Amino acid sequence: MERTILTLPQTFPFETRLDVRIGEINYGGHVGNDALLGLLHEARLRFLATRGWSERDVGGCGLMMVEAVVQYRAQAFHGDGLRVAVALGGLDRIGFDLFYRVTRERDGAEIARARTAMVFFDYARGRVVRAPESFGAAWGLT
C-alpha cells in the first residue's frame, strides 16, 4: 500500500480549541473522517478571521478547496478538547496550502495532520483568479 508522507512546517502561527461534539462521532465510537474535515474547516475560518477575512471574501475574491490530504494518527472521542494548529505555506499566483496539526488536550496525542490546497476563486464568474496582493502582504509573503 502506497502512503502519502505529509511533512508539517516547523512553526504554526495560529491555534484554536475545538470540542468534539456527539454529531462528529461515527459508528466506531470515534471522530469520523468526514467530521475531521469539518473541524479543519472551522479552524480555517477562525484562522482567516484573524485578518478580517472569510472564505467568501479574501481581498475581493473567495476561496475554494481543491485538495485535502489527511493522515489519521489516533482516535478522538466525544467530549475531547482538541487543539488545531494552522500554518500557511506554498503561496503562488492562484492559491496556497494550509497545514494543520490536531492534538488532544488531555494527553497531547497527535490525532491528525493535514494539508488543504486552496485556490482564489471568483464565484460570480465561476473561475479561478490570481491571488490578491493584499493576501500575501498580510502574511508578510510579498
Q: Where are the alpha helices (DSSP H) in the chain?
A: 33-49, 133-138
Which pLDDT value is given to residue 71? 96
Question: Residue 75's pLDDT is what?
Answer: 98
Q: What's this model's pTM, rounded to 2 decimal places?
A: 0.95
What does DSSP assign to residue 5? -
pLDDT at residue 109, rounded to an integer: 98
Arithmetic mean of pLDDT over the chain: 95
Low-confidence ranges of the chain (pLDDT < 70): 141-142
pLDDT at 142: 57
Task: Check residue 136 and give its pLDDT.
Answer: 81
